[in-house]
Amino acid sequence: MRTSIPPVTVAILVANVAVFVAELGIGERAFVPFALWPLGPYFAVWQILTYGFIHGSAGHVFFNMFAVYMFGSTMERVWGSPRYAAYYLVCVASAGITQLVVNALTGSGAPTVGASGGVFGLLLAFALYFPRQRLVLLFPPIPMPAWLFVTLYGAIELFFGVTGTQAGVAHFAHLGGMLGGYALAQRWRQRPPSPYAGADYWRA
Summarised one tens digit per residue, pLDDT across range 24-72 is 999 888 899 999 999 999 999 999 999 999 998 999 999 999 999 999 9
| 96 found inside a domain | yes
| 35 found inside a domain | yes
Q: What is the pTM of this model?
A: 0.88
**CATH value at residue 128:** 1.20.1540.10
Number of structural domains the chain divides into:
1
- Nearest-CA neighbor of 21 among 63, 64, 51, 53? 53
| 2 found inside a domain | no
| 201 found inside a domain | no
In the chain the first and final C-alpha atoms are separated, in Å, by 42
Does pLDDT of 195 surpass 80? no
